[in-house]
């Protein structure tokens, strides 16, 4: 898998995790695209708030379940599930942080990662969609020259066939001899 394919796969996983947060009524969902120089270990942070510990656990469970079911991906580690005030799901290329609202305000990860680019799930979806569309267009433009070559080759073959069929069919040898003897 190339680097761009791996990045695309990571973006798809983050998108699915963000959708799981939204479905479980997570609040103030943010995706931080971490600066590659600053981040080192992870590309994205997914941050969501929950109103109580049971909701935080439900959000974390939904993220885990969805990524396992749809992509066969498991978190590398899970922290804080018992207490439920800050649950961390580490998927290596991205980390999901599910906070109680008060804890999120106290730790303020967004402020600690100033070099990160904050995105809403809608902005993230739009970027992913446009990146996939650009890749599709590039693939089609690469495929067009090959298709044009095939089409030109078919025209040449069709031209050869049509020229061969436009000539009068050759007379059988017996017919030639009879025509020669009559003359």
- Write the pLDDT tens digit of every residue in 94-139: 999 999 999 999 998 887 776 676 677 777 677 767 666 666 565 5
Same domain (yes/no): 24, 72: yes
Q: How many domains, the chain?
A: 2
Same domain (yes/no): 112, 163: no
pLDDT at position 113, please? 73
Residue with the larger pLDDT of the pair 151 and 18: 18
- The verdict on residue 125 lying in a domain is no
- The verdict on residue 136 lying in a domain is no
pLDDT at position 7, please? 82
- pLDDT per residue over 169-180, tens digit each? 555 555 555 555
Same domain (yes/no): 87, 164: no
Same domain (yes/no): 112, 35: yes
Same domain (yes/no): 22, 101: yes
- The verdict on residue 133 lying in a domain is no
- The verdict on residue 54 lying in a domain is yes
pLDDT at position 133, please? 62
- The verdict on residue 131 lying in a domain is no
Residue 164 sits at the vertex; the CA angle it makes with 158 and 165, to the nearest 5 degrees, is: 90
- pLDDT per residue over 73-89, tens digit each? 999 999 999 999 999 99
Same domain (yes/no): 97, 12: yes
- Answer whether residue 54 shows pLDDT above 80: yes
- Answer whether residue 16 shows pLDDT above 50: yes
pLDDT at position 35, please? 77
Same domain (yes/no): 112, 155: no
Same domain (yes/no): 168, 83: no
pTM listed for this prediction = 0.66
Same domain (yes/no): 33, 111: yes
Structural domain boundaries, residue 80? 3-119
The percent of residues above 90 in pLDDT, for the chain, comes to: 43
Residue with the larger pLDDT of the pair 79 and 7: 79
- The verdict on residue 7 lying in a domain is yes
Range 51-58 average pLDDT: 95
Choose the final residue of a domain: 82, 101, 119. 119
pLDDT at position 160, please? 47
Structure tokens at 77: 């580690």
- The verdict on residue 139 lying in a domain is no
In 3D space, the residue among 46, 49, 129, 125 whose CA is nearest the CA of residue 86 turns out to be 49
């Amino acid at each position: 898998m190339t680097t761009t394919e791996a990045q695309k796969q990571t973006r798809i996983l983050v998108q699915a995790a963000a959708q799981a947060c939204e479905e479980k009524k997570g609040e103030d969902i943010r995706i931080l695209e971490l600066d590659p120089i600053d981040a080192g270990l992870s590309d994205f942070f997914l941050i969501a708030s929950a109103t109580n510990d049971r909701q935080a656990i439900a959000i974390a469970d939904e993220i885990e379940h969805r990524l396992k079911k749809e992509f066969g991906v498991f978190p590398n580690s899970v922290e804080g599930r018992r207490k439920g005030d800050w649950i961390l799901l580490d998927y290596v290329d991205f980390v999901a942080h599910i906070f109680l609202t008060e804890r999120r305000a106290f730790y303020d990860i967004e402020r600690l990662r100033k070099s990160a680019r904050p995105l809403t799930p809608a902005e993230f979806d739009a970027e992913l969609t446009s990146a996939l569309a650009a890749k599709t267009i590039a693939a089609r433009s690469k495929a067009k020259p090959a298709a044009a070559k095939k089409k030109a080759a078919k025209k040449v073959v069709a031209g050869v066939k049509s020229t061969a069929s436009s000539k009068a069919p050759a007379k059988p040898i017996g017919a030639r001899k009879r025509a020669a003897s009559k003359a």
